[in-house]
Structure formats: structure tokens, C-alpha cells
Amino acid sequence: MTGPLTGITIVSLEQAIAAPFATRQLADLGARVIKIERPEVGDFARAYDDRVKGMSSHFAWTNRSKESLTLNTKHEFAQEVLHALLEKADVLVQNLAPGATARINLDYESLKERYPRLIVCDISGYGSNGPYTEKKAYDLLVQAEAGFLSVTGLKDDMVKAGCSIADIAAGMYAYSGILAAIIERGRTGRGTRLDVSMLEAMTEWMSFPMYYAFNGASPPPRAGASHATIYPYGPFKANDGKTVILGLQNEREWVKFCQIVLDAPALATDERFASNASRSRNREELRSIIETVFGSMNSDELVTRLDVADIANGRVNDMHSVWEHPQLKARKRWRTVGSPVGKIPALLPPGGDPFEIRMDPIPAVGQHTDSILVELGFDTSRVESLRATGGI
């Protein structure tokens, strides 16, 4: 493997999604990721579901190209194993319960003098200080705390994101923060601590709704799959029952939409719809007009007409359609990776084309325990002793 992070070793006390997603992306770029799991059961995300040939869908997505080392961190010899790992590590990542690493002396303050080049990345729900520090934080709870649920859904019915968006946001900031810390260490020779909060990551992603409600102004209303403040921008049905999403960004596009898509050029200057603000105010009237026209076309005809008018659009695909998406196939984005249940498909990470992307197997629980311990200098009898006493 000759990716840009080849030679970098990550030790990760990780579970669920946020930390595993961050470290999987580091592994994609060639880093060696040693995933520390609970003996026998492993990361609890392994048991979230069994949809991938008996393996959890969440685990399959976030854990390729890693080595699994089982370790009971409360065992009397756990510290010896952990410090043997950290002697060779560049980065320690953890998203355990608040305070867990401090209780086993693996927090940054306990490690920084002994390992001055070590980068420590802590991922938590609410950060390392403040009134919410000890509060449990799951993805949906953070979506609520960050205001996401207040602007997502229908007028009287909040809706959560269909994927673990708060975990993903935190994982992305951990990933980019670690890359930045590696670059910084190259200049200073010293490691650092990253304190990544799911709440802060998710709040950063709240973007325009936050500023739209600036200084006490009314927040954007829930608008379903439509845009809250731009119209028309959202889903519309064709006469075959399929839904097409379209979006207008400016007045030039509005004129072309009226002329070519709706075949109603006079509508472009109708005072009810002469600006985005007026279209948004009168969206129900405009929706009725659009639906009448779209009701005369099937989805293929509608998409063709939108493309001719150069109006942005997309089909509402289900998951089965995404597996077969022609653009992903044309760009050869799919690979296969090994796993404890056999080969499964995996998507190449975005933007990684200039590098050699690592697409190695998903590990079984503790698959690499013996080989890693032997590498660290534990002889086979010691390894068996650790196993017999519940250490690994």
C-alpha cells in the first residue's frame, strides 16, 4: 500500500459510527488502523442489524481495512498492551463514554509527556467541558439539540435524517482534524489534542437556517422535501406516479422554466411569481399550475424537458436504484472487499482518485489479536495467558 498515509498508525478505542467512520477514511488513504474491541462481542455496532449476509450494515460501511484487536481495558495487563501500542502509534482516537479514557489514564493530559508526538482525537456528544459534558448523546438526540428536527419534516411533523447525520458530521470533522494535526506535527514535531463534539459538528452544518433566524427572526418553516425559501425547488409527480426533484436558482431559469417546461411564457411576468420571494409566498397557487402541466407527462418526458431547459433536476431513487445508478457505474466507483461473511461491494471514497485507495477486508472480532500482540513482543504463552484470564 502506497497511499498518502502509509506509515501512519492509528489506535482507536471506537464504537458505533462517528469514530469508526473517521478512522475508516484514514485507512482508505493507507493508514494502519488498529481497532480495539471488547472481547467476544466487539464493537456493539456489529449487532445493530444483520442485513449484509448476516453482518451489520452499519459495521460493513465503517470498518473495512482495519485490524481488530480484542482487549478488556479493565484487565490488569491492559495498560501494558495499550502502552505497547501507543509507543508505535501516531494517533489515538476514542469515542467511549464521557470520562472513560481518563479513568484508564488514556486521556491527553496523561499521555502528552510520555508521547509528545501523539495526536489524540476525542469524539463525544457535547465536548469535554460545559453543562452537557456527561450527558449521553445518540445521533437522533443530537439532531434534536442542534435544531435539525425543527426545520426538517412537514409543518406539524418533525422528521429525522434517514442516516446518522450527526455521527457522520462528527466523523468528518475528526477525519479532517486528524489530517490537519498530522501536517501541523510535521512542522512542529509535536502532537496535539482534538476535541470533536457531535453537537458542534451538527450545528456547523445547520448553515443557512441559523443565519436565516438571526437576531430573533423567524426560522425557516419545515417544508418537507421542498426548499423552505426558494420556489419551485422540490418534488413533483409525473403522470406515471414517479417523482422528480427540480430546482430553480435565479430569474433567468424561471423564464426558461415557463417557456420550455411549462409551455406558458406569459407566466414568467405574472406579478404573483415575478420574483423568488413572490413565488415562495404564492407557492400553493404555483404548485397547482405546475402539477397540472406535469400531469400530462411521464417522468422520462419531464426529465427530458427539464434537461432541454437546463433546469437542475434529479430522480427520487430508492436504495435499489442507487446500487444500479448509471453514473456510479460509468465512473467505475464500485469495488469489492472481503469480510467475515464473504465478499461485498464497497464504494470508492469521493475524491481519492489521485491516490491508491486501500480497500481491504472488514475484520472479524479479534481477528488480528494474536498477530498484533506477537508483533508487540508478547510471546504465544503470554497471549494464551491473557486469553485465559479474560484480557483479550
Q: Going from the N-terminus, what domains does the chain have, and what CATH number goes with each?
A: 9-205+329-388 (3.40.50.10540), 233-316 (3.30.1540.10)
Dihedral of the alpha carbons of 60, 62, 68, 72, in degrees to the nearest 10: -110
Residue 381, pLDDT score: 93
Please tell me the distance from the alpha carbon of residue 200 to that of residue 154, in angstroms, as a whole number: 25
What pLDDT is attached to residue 269?
94
Q: Which pLDDT score is estimated for 356?
A: 87
Tens of pLDDT, residues 85-105 = 999 999 999 999 989 999 999
In this predicted structure, what is the pLDDT of residue 35? 98
The separation between the first and the last C-alpha atoms of the chain, rounded to the nearest angstrom, is 29
- 10 Å Cβ neighbour count for 175? 22
3-state class percentages of the chain: helix first, strand second, coil last, to nearest 5: 40, 15, 45
Q: Cell 429525522 identifies what position? A: 160
- Rounded to whole angstroms, the Cα distance separating 127 from 207 reads 20
Burial class (CB in 10 A: 0-12, 13-18, 19+), 268: middle
Model pLDDT, residue 352: 79
Tell me the pLDDT tens digit for each residue of 28-79.
999 999 999 999 999 999 999 999 999 999 999 999 999 999 999 999 999 9
35: which 3 cell numbers? 481497532
pLDDT at 1: 66
pLDDT tens-digit profile of 188-198?
A: 999 999 999 99
Tally Cβ neighbours within 10 Å of residue 183.
Answer: 9
| Distance in angstroms (rounded) separating the CA atoms of residues 137 and 139 | 7
pLDDT value for 2: 80
Mean pLDDT of 254-272: 96
Query: Residue type at 248?
Result: L
Q: How many helices (H) and strands (E) does the chain have?
A: 18, 13
Closest-CA residue to 279 (of 290, 263, 292): 290
> Among candidates 321, 320, 353, 314, which has minimal Cα distance to 335?
353
Q: What is the mean pLDDT of residues 337-345?
A: 97
DSSP state of 348: P
Classified as helix, coil or strand, 392 is coil
pLDDT, averaged across the chain: 95
CA dihedral 108, 111, 114, 118 (to 10 degrees): -60
Taking a C-beta distance cutoff of 8 angstroms, is the pair 214, 224 a contact?
Answer: no
Q: What is the phi/psi pair of residue 156, to 5°?
A: -115, 20
CA-to-CA distance for 88 and 107, rounded, in angstroms? 17
Question: Is pLDDT of 326 > 70?
Answer: yes
Question: What is the model's pTM?
Answer: 0.93
Question: What is the C-alpha separation between 334 and 312, in angstroms, rounded?
Answer: 26
For residues 308 and 182, give the distance between their C-alpha atoms in angstroms, rounded to a whole number: 48
* Angle in degrees, CA 379, 37, 111, rounded to 5: 80
